[in-house]
Structure 1
Amino acid sequence: MTTGTQASTQSVTLRYTHTLDEQLHACRLYQRSTRKHLFYKFVAIVAIFSAVWIVFTVGVQPAALLLLALGLFTWFDPVPLLLVWSTFRSSPALRQPIETVVDRKGVHFRFGAERVSRSWERYQSFAESDRVFVLIHGRWAYSVVPKRAFADRKAIDEFRELLRANIRRSP
């Protein structure tokens, strides 16, 4: 789990290895930035409220239990997290060391023999938490850059400003 950073006026180079914990955290962070998340929260509230209403008016019924289960399932929405968990555990490529270079053209990832480059125009937005940056480039398509890959707080602040300057908007 080697991390490192090298910054210059032209580019930033980061070296890190993804962790399952960070991938799940990033998934949840991205998930909360979607309209689907708000819709699921609404459905969950309606389902839970309906279940409680049924219990208070008619008593415990199978319909109330079903609505309660539906409400809890949509509130927590575990399917994306399960997909990330399954994919990460079954794919050794996702656990390889990654080198990320961020420059005036865009963001370039190298892991093993794979190379992925995306120009700044491809990114739609980014999200940030205390642990990661999530660079969003499509619907359920994003790249995770852990903050532990940076040398210090100043490097994180500079990276954030670079993202703000080059990505159209951030949620």
Structure 2
Amino acid sequence: MVMDMGRDVLQDDAVELEYTHEQQDMTDAVRLLLRKRKGVFGLLYHPALAATVALIGVVLLVVSPRDNLGIGIALIVWGVLMLYVPRLSAAQLRKAHEHHGQVRVTVGAAGVRLVSAHADVRTGWANYGSYAESDRVFILRSPDRAGRCANILAKRGASTPQDVDRLRKILDTHLQRV
């Protein structure tokens, strides 16, 4: 069986990425998504806040262990757990996408097309509200107020660094960068 990997939608300005989902890409994407959330939710998962809360728990235990045992331990546990949330969430996300195997993503003027052994999904730009970028990935965020992740594009899937630059230009044309 020959799988059409999206070549029929290629246009002159389209960029094609080809990759399999990896844990590090997913972890980077979840961290980026959490950092870009607005308001309290973005702050809740910030590593500096988690470390500060854990440190406050330690201080409470040192200063007055009898009076603050429960709250001190709870603050330490919460701080440590918040440091691991991105990694744990990313592991679940990667497992959910593992069955796709190799994916080819084509990004062009018409939108985004993802083709894998088990999916052929086309989405227009209206499906996305904004995008964010890290060293490893682009996240195309949904248009809802929270900007939940709608699509993760791994930069390592590009053939050349120039393709990553072209992809960034396409995204800048169609979406707001956050």
Tell me if both proteins adopt one fold, taking TM over 0.5 as the criterion: yes
The one-letter amino acid paired with 1:112 is: A
Q: 2:3 is matched with which residue?
A: none
Contact 2:26 2:93 in 1 (8 A): no
Structure 1 residue matching 2:81: 3-state secondary structure: helix
> 1:94-114: CA deviations, max 9, x gaps?
4x1111111211111111131
Whether 1:14 and 2:17 are equivalent positions in the alignment is: yes
2:145 aligned with 1:137, yes or no? Answer: no
The match for 2:102 among 97, 102, 126 is: 97
Paired residue for 1:70? 78
What is the match of residue 3 of structure 1?
Answer: none
The separation in 2 between residues aligned to 1:45 and 1:85, in whole angstroms, is 22
| 1:1-171 matches, cutoff 5 A | 9-35=12-38, 36-41=41-46, 44=50, 47-48=53-54, 50-55=56-61, 57-59=63-65, 61-63=68-70, 64-74=72-82, 76=83, 78=85, 81-89=87-95, 92-94=98-100, 96-137=101-142, 139-167=147-175, 169-171=176-178
Q: Contact 2:61/2:69 (CA < 8 Å) preserved in 1?
A: no
Look up the SS of the partner of 2:80 in the other structure. Answer: helix
Q: Structure 2 stretches of 5 or more lacking a match? A: 1-6
Q: Which has the higher contact order (CA 8 A, sep 6+)?
A: 2
TM-score, length of structure 2 as denominator length: 0.74
Q: Deviations over 1:114-148 (max 9, x none)?
A: 11111112111111111111111255332121111
TM, length-normalised to structure 1: 0.77
- Distance change in 2, residues 1:22/1:50 (3 Å): closer
The count of aligned residue pairs is 162
Q: Among the aligned pairs, what percent are the same residue?
A: 23
Residues 143, 90 of structure 1: CA spacing in aligned structure 2 closer, same or farther, 3 A cutoff?
closer
Shift of 1:12: 2.0
Identify unmatched segments of 5+ residues in structure 1.
1-5
How far 1:23 moved relative to its partner?
A: 1.5
CA distance in 1, matches of 2:57, 2:49: 12
Cα distance in 2 for partners of 1:83, 1:120 equals: 26
Q: CA RMSD, aligned part only?
A: 2.8
